């Protein structure tokens, strides 16, 4: 695995080796025999770099490789030319400069580093998602699983969002696929039981006094009757074929999880790779269908994440490490409104890096708990070096260049304060790690 990739994406799911036997999603287990002539970039000097480059590029373009053996995810530093060549092909110029800066700070030979940096100046930027695999037979595919009409349990935790929840339930009333139940775990104050009487749905409403998201989802999983669990947020909008497209993708790709893409109404721009099917490298519990059998093997959501972030990300990692297949599904998209009231917003965070209170621990401690469980300390520190300086951008401006530059400026200006906030978060996550996961079995 490229050192460049490890430095820029230090906590990427696919940089870890699944402990499960059998065919599992992969990015790096390719062999020369499996390739067509001309698919390798012969400009790389090291043969390993040619294979890793193809593996990464094809994965990012929706080629779903599987492996029944060990994958080459070891962190190895190639010659500087190959590292910079890879960086220039798939990452924007600021990241290449960042990698050079990091290498120089690590006391690497500056002559070799600058030479490789300059030799690759004319390497064209390719990006990702420019030549995706399209799976043309998907549209004509007749899903026998969907035609069998298995019961789907739609799980919706909600907190003080009745106006938005009404739209969610109306979208469910319009679904083409009919054999589903809705389980709402309502934590609102005041609880409005009469609100649900106007909807024509097979629906059960559970009132939960505690404002605890992961307890709510776990309870709904236990209460569910379906063999497929569809997790949905209370501030989202979907099309009438949403449930059907989740089932169809699970059947077509023989997957265990259909990770529907989320099109945000606010925040960062929509990534290019949301347009096509590919292996999913994250799990969003606001739009995902999971075979119930996955929870029976992995356990339920970790309640260490109560009133914090990334509980769904940790479950996705746990499923991946157990060898389950998760496909990113553009056909089962949702529009995520990300409203400012209710939900996890009520617990004082915009996302895992942006607490609402200026002097709150940063990132949210559960983010560090998650990454420290699965990645080496050096990788987690690299993640902090990249993400925290950019986290001063207001959530609504996330991803915009001008806001990113101002965030970097203020990060330097208030560096001592940021270090204190990060250290506080690190201490809290250390306590969480000592307590261990709070994962109950199904």
**Residue 25 included in any domain:** yes
For residue range 265-289, what is the model confidence (pLDDT) as tens digits? 655 567 788 899 999 998 999 999 9
Mean pLDDT across the stretch 303-330? 94
**Residue 130 included in any domain:** no
**Residue 110 included in any domain:** yes
**Residue 124 included in any domain:** no
Q: What b/e sequence results for 221-252 when a residue is b if at least 16 CB atoms lie within 10 Å of its CB, and e otherwise?
A: beebebebbbbbbbbbbbbeebbbbbbbbbbb
Report which of residues 1 and 93 the model is more confident about: 93
Check residue 110 and give its pLDDT: 96
From 279, 312, 343, give the residue that closes a domain: 343
From 327, 343, 359, give the residue that closes a domain: 343
From 299, 318, 343, give the residue that closes a domain: 343
The answer to whether residues 238 and 158 belong to one domain is yes
**Residue 197 included in any domain:** yes
How many CB atoms neighbour CB 202 within 10 A? 14
The answer to whether residues 242 and 301 belong to one domain is yes
Peptide bond into 190 cis (omega under 30): yes
**pLDDT band per the 50, 70, 90 thresholds, residue 74:** low
Q: Report the number of distinct structural domains present in the chain.
A: 3
Helices 110-119, 80-90: inter-axial angle, 10-degree rounding? 40
Nearest C-alpha neighbor of 260 from the set 241, 237, 283: 283
The answer to whether residues 172 and 242 belong to one domain is yes
The answer to whether residues 189 and 332 belong to one domain is yes
Average pLDDT, the chain: 89
The answer to whether residues 325 and 360 belong to one domain is no
The answer to whether residues 378 and 309 belong to one domain is no
Nearest C-alpha neighbor of 90 from the set 133, 45, 58, 137: 58
The answer to whether residues 327 and 361 belong to one domain is no
**Residue 369 included in any domain:** yes
Check residue 124 and give its pLDDT: 95
The answer to whether residues 159 and 209 belong to one domain is yes
How many CB atoms neighbour CB 374 within 10 A? 17
The answer to whether residues 300 and 363 belong to one domain is no
pTM of model > 0.85 = yes
The answer to whether residues 366 and 260 belong to one domain is no
Check residue 268 and give its pLDDT: 57
**Residue 132 included in any domain:** no
| Ranges assigned E (strand) in 100-213 | 152-158, 180-186, 203-207
**Residue 133 included in any domain:** no
- C-alpha distances (whole Å) from 5 to each of 102, 262, 302, 346, 379 are 13, 25, 29, 36, 11
Please say whether the beta carbons of 138 and 252 come within 8 A: yes
The answer to whether residues 328 and 187 belong to one domain is yes
At 229, which helix (H) or strand (E)?
Answer: strand 228-232
Check residue 331 and give its pLDDT: 96
Mean pLDDT across the stretch 361-384? 94
For residue range 132-162, what is the model confidence (pLDDT) as tens digits? 888 999 999 999 999 999 999 999 999 999 9
Boundaries of domain holding 45: 3-119
The answer to whether residues 306 and 291 belong to one domain is yes
Check residue 67 and give its pLDDT: 74
């Amino acid at each position: 695995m490229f050192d460049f990739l490890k430095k820029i994406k230090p906590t990427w799911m696919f940089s870890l080796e699944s402990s499960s036997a059998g065919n599992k999603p992969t990015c790096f287990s390719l062999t020369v025999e499996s390739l067509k002539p001309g698919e390798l970039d012969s400009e790389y000097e090291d043969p390993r770099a040619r294979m890793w480059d193809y593996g990464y590029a094809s994965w990012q373009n929706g080629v779903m490789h599987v492996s029944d053996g060990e994958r080459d995810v070891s962190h190895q530093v190639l010659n500087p030319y190959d590292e910079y060549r890879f960086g220039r092909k798939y990452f924007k110029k600021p990241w290449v400069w960042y990698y050079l800066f990091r290498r120089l700070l690590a006391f690497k030979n500056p002559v070799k580093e600058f030479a490789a940096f300059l030799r690759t100046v004319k390497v064209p930027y390719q990006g990702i998602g420019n030549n995706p695999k399209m799976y043309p037979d998907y549209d004509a595919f007749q899903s026998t699983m969907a035609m069998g009409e298995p019961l789907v349990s739609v799980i919706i935790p909600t907190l003080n969002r009745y106006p938005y929840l009404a739209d969610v339930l109306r979208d469910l009333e319009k679904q083409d696929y009919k054999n589903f139940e809705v389980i709402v775990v309502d934590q609102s104050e005041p609880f409005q039981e009469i609100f649900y009487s106007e909807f024509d749905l097979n629906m059960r409403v559970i009132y939960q006094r505690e404002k605890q998201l992961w307890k709510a989802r776990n309870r709904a999983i236990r209460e569910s009757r379906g063999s497929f669990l569809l997790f949905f947020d209370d501030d989202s909008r979907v099309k009438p074929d949403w449930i059907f497209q989740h089932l169809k993708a699970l059947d077509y790709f023989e997957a265990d999880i259909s990770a529907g893409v989320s099109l945000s109404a606010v925040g960062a721009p929509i990534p290019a790779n949301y347009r096509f099917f590919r292996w999913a490298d994250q799990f969003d519990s606001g739009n995902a269908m999971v075979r119930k059998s996955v929870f029976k093997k992995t356990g339920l959501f970790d309640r260490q994440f109560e009133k914090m972030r990334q509980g769904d990300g940790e479950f996705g990692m746990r499923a991946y490490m157990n060898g389950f297949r998760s496909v990113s599904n553009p056909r089962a998209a949702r529009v995520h409104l990300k409203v400012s009231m209710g939900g996890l917003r009520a617990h004082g965070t915009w996302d895992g890096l942006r607490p609402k209170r200026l002097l709150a621990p940063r990132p949210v401690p559960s983010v560090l708990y998650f990454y420290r469980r699965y990645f080496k300390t050096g990788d987690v520190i690299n993640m902090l070096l990249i993400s925290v300086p950019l986290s001063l951008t207001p959530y609504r401006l996330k991803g915009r260049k001008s806001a990113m530059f101002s965030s970097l400026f203020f990060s330097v200006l208030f560096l001592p304060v940021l270090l204190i906030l990060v250290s506080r978060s690190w201490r809290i996550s250390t306590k969480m790690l000592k307590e261990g996961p709070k994962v109950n079995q199904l």
